[in-house]
Amino acid sequence: MAFTNSGFPEIRAIFLAQFHPDQGPIVRMSVPEDAVDVGENAYTDTGATNRSSELRDTGAMGGIVSSNNNFAHEPEVVELIKRTTARGGPSLVDSSKIDFNSIQTLIIPKLTLFERLITVNTGRFKVMCYPVAIEGNYARNMFIFNMCFAFDISADTKCYGPVVKRVGSLLKELEVTGRLLSDVAGTRALLTMMRQLVNKLNDHGEYQIELDLKGLSQPMASTGISIKLFPYYENPATIEAFHVPVKLVDFDVARRKSAQTVYQQHASNDIMWDLVLDKVAEGIDNVNHVRRIARQAQIPEPTVVLALQHLDYYGCIALVDIFQFSNVYEAQARVKDVMRNGWLQRECHAYVTRDGQAGTVSLERLIQLYATVRQRRTVAEWIVDNCIDVERFDVRRFIVFGVLHGMLRRVHCFPVLCASVESADKEPSRRGSNSGSGSGDEEPLKLEPRVVAMLDGTHHLDEICVAENKDAAVMRGLLDSYGGIEYVHL
């Protein structure tokens, strides 16, 4: 995958496709000029007539140009995979070019896909586009076009979604107000814009140009276009009360950098940061879980979750499970990454050893220790088996580092109440109430109904402990005393 100087995927080509009233789908222009292989156009006059009739018969033509989109309930992004296959012989298409004939029905699609982001994979390329149709005084009463962006097939193009949509919407507006696309006089301005888009977005990640519209029926002789790429962040993960946030950045440095970005000057010691984030950040010590942070900060838990989701969205924290010496972990295939990645080895050694002391644990020993972590052995048992010196070796950091980098996986314990015991619990003679047993004075051990409801195999022990505010050993003792509990480790 190729990246630009700005860190975004490189645009390989841009081409403008249109629906010609006689020829059907065509490529009007492209940058570079030979980026698209049009071959022999599959659409004849008859094919074009049938295609136009198909579009008209779909109905609701005005819906695609009005502000009230009739297809608003449908997904905005449509991802399609189109593989070119040869029939009866090898393909004659140049693999270094975009095969337009294989994707033309997706570039000029049916009405239900208009004004939607569409991603099409073809050959070595991934094509993103935003098809637009405008009803008006045109041949066949409709003008259909699509400005398409081509990338490497392996490129992550999520950051280009808003750009492709903005370009399509902008061209639609310029066509409605001044016939930029349908008028031959606008060809030069269009070609200039396409060249600038490729060069500026690849080199700088942003684009700004004054478009010369002389000779067109525009209210102004020129118009400015500004486009900027922004990183794409996945939606934050669901944060539960038992999750433990782990810092990935220095919050003090983050405060000052954000202030410098906003005010463009040296940040003072009195930095105005969000009050909730400030209180929540004070409670993040890589040990406290979400509910404990909320109690210490005296902030409602849903508000703390929102603050943590904000930090997670921008990559300031990661989420792990509550660390206890009774936890069980297992090594993953990514353990081999630490053998080949020098940076990962140095980071692991500095993070795990106490105060980064050199010579306390060798790199070879670290790799060996990760490989020895396996199921059915608690962390405490693993420490004894491997003679770990906890004075020099931070076991919690060792486990957390492995989880964050995918080298270790937590094996959760799910308590399940057997159905037979659950039904027997409803009988009056349950637990210590049998006459003549000599234990009639003993209080029967009972669990709260909310705890019993969580013993259905869908809630692990950490979740139950946090909900009841009890230690894992205490909760497990209560469950064992209650009886009829089976433990499933997954």
What is the tens place of the pLDDT at every residue in 256-266?
Answer: 665 444 444 44
98: left (phi over 0), alpha (psi -120 to 50) or beta: beta
Contacts of 168 (CB under 8 A, 6+ apart): 115, 129, 130, 131, 132, 146, 147
Instruction: State which H helix or E strand residue 169 sits in.
Output: helix 161-178
Residue 62 structure tokens: 């005005």
| pLDDT of amino acid 383 | 93
Query: Which stretches within 205-341 are classed as H helix?
Result: 251-263, 275-283, 290-297, 301-313, 337-340
Express each pLDDT in 452-471 by its tens digit.
999 999 999 999 999 999 99
Range with the poorest average pLDDT among 156-160, 213-217, 225-229, 338-342: 213-217
CA–CA separation, 224 and 355 (whole Å): 56
Q: Is the pLDDT of residue 374 over 50?
A: yes
Residue 318 is inside which H or E element, if any? strand 317-320
Give the separation between CA 470 and CA 458, rounded to whole angstroms.
Answer: 19
- The predicted pLDDT at position 189 comes to 86
What does the pLDDT read at residue 12? 95
Q: Which of 92-101, 219-228, 401-410 has the highest mean pLDDT?
A: 401-410
pLDDT score recorded for residue 250: 86
Per-residue pLDDT tens over the stretch 132-154: 999 988 988 999 999 999 999 99
Give the CA-trace dihedral at 54, 57, 60, 62, to 10 degrees. Answer: 70
Q: Which residue has the higher pLDDT, 54 or 195?
A: 195
Q: Provide the pLDDT for residue 41.
A: 47
108 contacts 136 by C-beta, under 8 angstroms: no
Q: What is the mean pLDDT of residues 67-83?
A: 49
Length of the chain: 490
CB 237 within 8 A of CB 463: no
pTM comes to 0.68
Contact 481, 403 (CB under 8 A): no
- Spatial separation of the C-alpha atoms in residues 131 and 121, rounded to whole Å: 16
Residue 196 Cα distances to 12, 124, 201, 203, 231, angstroms: 13, 24, 8, 10, 21
- Determine the pLDDT at residue 78: 62
- Which one, of 13, 6, 10, 7, lies nearest residue 155 by Cα? 10
The CA R_g of the chain, rounded to the nearest whole Å, is: 32
State the first-to-last Cα distance of the chain, in angstroms, to the nearest integer: 37
